[in-house]
Amino acid sequence: MPLVNFTTREITCKLVYYGPGRSGKTTNLLYIHGRVPQDRRGNMVSLATQSDRTLFFDFLPLELGVISGFTTRFQLYTVPGQVYYNATRRLVLQGADGVVFVADSQARRFDDNLESFQNLQENLLEQGIDVRQLPLVLQYNKQDLPGDLILARPDLDDALNFRAVPSLGADALHGAGVFETLKLVSSLVLQRLATRPPGSER
C-alpha cells in the first residue's frame, strides 16, 4: 500500500518497472529523468554490469511537492531483466505500490516477455501479493519499429493481458507513451488510497 504518513504528512508511492532484459525499462526512467525539473528529482541511481545491462536496479526519486497538505513523493525503480538476477527482482518488488510491465514488442522477444511476466507473477505470489489486487499497467514498448519486426498491440494483449489491465503502446526512446504509462499506474495507485483498511500505513 502507498505509504501515507500522517505524522509527517507525507505520501510515498513506490512504482516498479518490470520486464525482460532490453525491453526499455531504464529508457523509460531516463526519459522521465530528462523531463523532470532538477528541483523535483533526485539523482538517478543506476547500477550496470560490465556489458551495461542493469545489474541491481535503477532508482529515480520524484518530489512532487505539497499536495492537499501532504508532501508527495514517487519512487521509480527498475528491476534487472536478465533471468539470473531474480533475487534482486524479488527484493526490488518488495513493497511495490504499482508495477509497470514493459514488454518488448519485437516478435523475436515474444517468449522473453511471457517468461518475464510469469516471473513477475511468481515473485508477487511468493510475497503474498495477489497480482489481481496490485495496480498493474502493461506497456508495449518499441512500437515505432517497422511493422514486420513487431507484434501489434492486440496480439500482445492476447498473449499477456489476460487480466485485462490497462495497456498501451510506447516508444520509450522518444517518449511516446512514457508519461501516459506513469500517469496511468499512478492514478491506479492513488485510487487505492481511499480503499485501504484503517491503520494500513506501511
Residues that bind other proteins (CB under 8 A): 4, 6-9, 11, 22, 26-27, 30, 35-37, 40, 44, 46, 48, 52, 64-65, 67-70, 72, 74, 107-108, 143-149, 152-153, 169-171, 173-179, 182-183, 186-187, 190-191, 193-194, 196-199, 201
Q: How far is the CB of 158 from other proteins (least distance, A)?
A: 14
Comparing CB distances to other proteins, the nearer of 111 and 126 is 111
Comparing CB distances to other proteins, the nearer of 18 and 74 is 74
C-alpha 202/C-alpha 13 separation (Å) is 11
Extract the C-alpha cell encoding 104. Answer: 518488448
Please name the residue that has the C-alpha cell 541511481.
45
Amino acid code (one letter) for 3: L
Read off the DSSP letter of residue 41. B
Q: How far is the CB of 126 from other proteins (least distance, A)?
A: 29
Whether 100 contacts 179, CB under 8 Å: no
Closest CA to 157 of 137, 173, 131: 137
Q: How far is the CB of 196 from other proteins (least distance, A)?
A: 8
Comparing CB distances to other proteins, the nearer of 26 and 161 is 26
C-alpha 176/C-alpha 112 separation (Å) is 23
Comparing CB distances to other proteins, the nearer of 69 and 128 is 69
Amino acid code (one letter) for 33: H
Comparing CB distances to other proteins, the nearer of 22 and 89 is 22
Q: How far is the CB of 197 from other proteins (least distance, A)?
A: 8
